[in-house]
């Protein structure tokens, strides 16, 4: 038994329109996939499989300590 | 809910450092769940289907008493509901709901509509926006990757479990800006047309947009003040900068000096 709403939940994005061609200076920033590991810990996320039991907040704190990062938060509480 | 719940598991994106600012997006994303619901009385299949149909599309939900939000009725969406398996009063459901929907409450309300009562026995989240279960990382995998990094200096494992935050924000329409505009946006300046290299064709006024560098890094999330079509036709301010992700000074400050003095 499958019931569906007429609206699709996941958006599909079309190709970008280029207004003006440009180069980017390799001296600044990093392509996301080439970030050094320390940068990744500032601009990264872990798609964690939360086990049953602990709260989202407890899990987040555990991960924060494990990685030794200053700040961590969770996306969409799962309690 | 405070105190947690032993029967709830699944995808929980952990956002690190500056990426923590993406949590508002995570909250708004639609989510997919596998849910075990227990009916408190006899319900035939056609009745169950009728009951679920009542929630398909938009429905109203009052947050549970223990939720950390104001208890006012809110409009939610049930995009999809599927009965995967049924053993008597136990129903295994797959649900896709809009952000902020309480599945426990949905189960309770379904029980009311069916006239027999029902409650949620177990819940597993299998997708949140662009992140789905297939790529989920267990605490053990993470622990092992951290250990390999600390003990052996091997970052390979960590790289497999920590993804760029851009992967998680990919559902937002995007605007790509020139290097010269990046630092201004990092300082919270609104984005004007001359700073834009490329733009998503489907932006309308008031939409949340991701502002990206040419390298594909997220700079900020803003609100579109013009639609894509308007941007193509005219100049001026295109987006207001709301949430800045990128650290100031990542790109050189070139703004306010005039074009002739750059390079």
Q: What is the pLDDT along chain B (263 residues), one digit of tens a residue?
A: 444 566 999 999 999 999 999 999 999 999 999 999 999 999 999 999 999 999 999 999 988 777 777 778 889 999 999 999 999 999 999 999 999 999 999 999 999 999 999 999 999 999 999 999 998 999 999 999 999 999 999 999 999 999 999 999 999 999 999 999 999 999 999 999 999 999 999 999 999 999 999 999 999 999 999 999 999 999 999 999 999 999 999 999 975 555 544 44
Please give the Cα distance from B204 to B225 (Å, whole number): 8
Distance CA B177, CA A52 (A): 42
Share of chain A above pLDDT 90, in %: 90
Inspect the interface and report whether the beta carbons of A66 and B146 lie closer than 8 Å: yes
Q: Are B251 and B183 in contact, with CB atoms under 8 Å apart?
A: yes
B38 contact partners, CB below 8 Å, separation of at least 6:
B89, B90, B91, B118, B119, B120, B121
Rounded Cα distance, B243 and B249, in Å: 16
- A7–B79 CB contact, under 8 Å: yes
Binary contact (B198, A16; C-beta < 8 A): yes
Per the CB < 8 A criterion, the answer to whether B62 and B72 are in contact is yes
Q: How far is B188 from chain A (nearest CA, A)?
A: 18
B66, B148, B179, B207 from A50: Cα distances, Å: 21, 21, 38, 31
Distance CA A54, CA B13 (A): 15
Taking CB atoms and an 8 Å limit, are B136 and A71 in contact across chains?
Answer: no
B192: exposed, middle or buried (Cβ count in 10 Å: 0-12, 13-18, 19+): middle
Q: Which of B16, B174, B232 sits opposite A67 (nearest CB)?
A: B16
Tell me which residue has tokens 């001026």. B236
B 104-123 residues inside an 8 A Cβ radius of A: none
Spatial separation of the C-alpha atoms in residues B254 and B263, rounded to whole Å:
9
Predicted ipTM? 0.96
Question: Looking at residue B70, what is its pLDDT?
Answer: 77
Domain locations along chain B: 8-132, 137-164, 172-247
Q: Tell which residue, A71, A37, A46, has the closest CA to residue B150.
A: A37
Burial class (CB in 10 A: 0-12, 13-18, 19+), B258: exposed
Query: According to the model, what pLDDT value does residue B256 have?
Result: 54
Task: Specify the pLDDT at position B261.
Answer: 43
Token pair belonging to A39: 């940068």
- B172-247 folds as 2.30.130
Check residue A73 and give its pLDDT: 97
Contact B29, B132 (CB under 8 A): no
- Catalytic residue set of A: 79
B34 chain-A contacts, CB cut-off 8 A: none
Q: Identify whether the C-beta of residue A77 lies closer than 8 Å to the C-beta of residue A56.
A: yes
- Say which CATH topology domain B8-132 has: Pseudouridine synthase (3.30.2350)
Classify residue B202 by burial, with Cβ atoms within 10 Å: 0-12, 13-18, 19+.
middle
Residues 13 through 72 of chain A touching chain B, CB cutoff 8 Å: 13-25, 28-33, 35, 37, 40-56, 58-60, 62-63, 66-67, 69-72
- How much is the pLDDT for B262? 44
Decide if A75 and B251 are in contact by the 8 Å CB cutoff. no
Question: Quick one: which of B146, B12, B137 has its CA closest to A66?
Answer: B146
Crossing angle (nearest 10°) for helices B139-152 and A56-67: 10
Write out chain A residues lying below 8 Å of B155, CB-based: 37
Q: What pLDDT is attached to residue B260? A: 46
For A10-38, write each residue's pLDDT tens digit. 999 899 999 999 999 999 999 999 999 99
* Distance (Å, whole) CA A6 – CA B58: 11
- Please tell me the predicted confidence (pLDDT) of residue B41: 97
């Amino acid at each position: 038994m499958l019931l569906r709403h007429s609206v699709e939940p996941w958006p599909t994005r079309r190709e970008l329109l280029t207004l003006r061609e440009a180069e980017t200076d390799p001296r600044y920033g990093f392509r996301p996939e080439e970030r050094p590991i320390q940068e990744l810990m500032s601009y990264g996320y872990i798609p964690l499989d939360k086990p049953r039991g602990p709260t989202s907040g407890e899990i987040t704190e555990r991960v924060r300590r494990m990685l030794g990062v200053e700040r961590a938060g969770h996306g969409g509480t799962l309690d | 809910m405070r105190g947690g719940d032993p029967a709830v598991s699944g995808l929980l994106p952990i956002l690190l450092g500056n990426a923590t600012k993406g949590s508002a997006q995570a909250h708004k994303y639609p989510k997919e769940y596998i849910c075990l619901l227990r009916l408190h009385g006899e319900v035939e299949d056609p009745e169950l289907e009728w009951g679920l149909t009542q929630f398909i599309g938009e429905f109203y939900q009052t947050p549970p008493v223990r939720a950390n939000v104001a208890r006012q009725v809110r409009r939610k969406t049930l995009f999809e509901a599927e009965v995967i398996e049924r053993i008597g009063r136990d129903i295994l459901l797959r649900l896709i709901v809009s952000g902020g929907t309480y599945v426990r409450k949905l189960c309770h309300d379904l029980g009311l509509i069916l006239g027999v009562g029902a409650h949620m026995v177990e819940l597993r989240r299998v997708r949140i926006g662009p992140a789905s279960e297939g790529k989920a990382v267990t605490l053990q995998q993470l622990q092992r990757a951290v250990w390999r990094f600390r003990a052996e200096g091997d970052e390979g494992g960590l790289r497999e479990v920590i993804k760029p935050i851009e992967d998680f924000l990919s559902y937002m329409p995007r605007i790509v800006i020139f290097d010269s505009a990046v630092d201004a946006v990092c300082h919270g300046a609104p984005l004007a047309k001359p700073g834009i290299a490329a733009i998503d064709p489907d932006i309308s006024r008031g939409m949340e947009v991701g502002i990206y560098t040419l390298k594909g890094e997220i700079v900020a999330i803003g609100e579109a003040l013009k639609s894509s079509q308007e941007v193509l036709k005219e100049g001026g301010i295109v987006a207001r900068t709301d949430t800045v992700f990128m650290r100031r000074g990542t790109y050189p400050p070139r703004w306010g000096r005039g074009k002739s003095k750059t390079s």
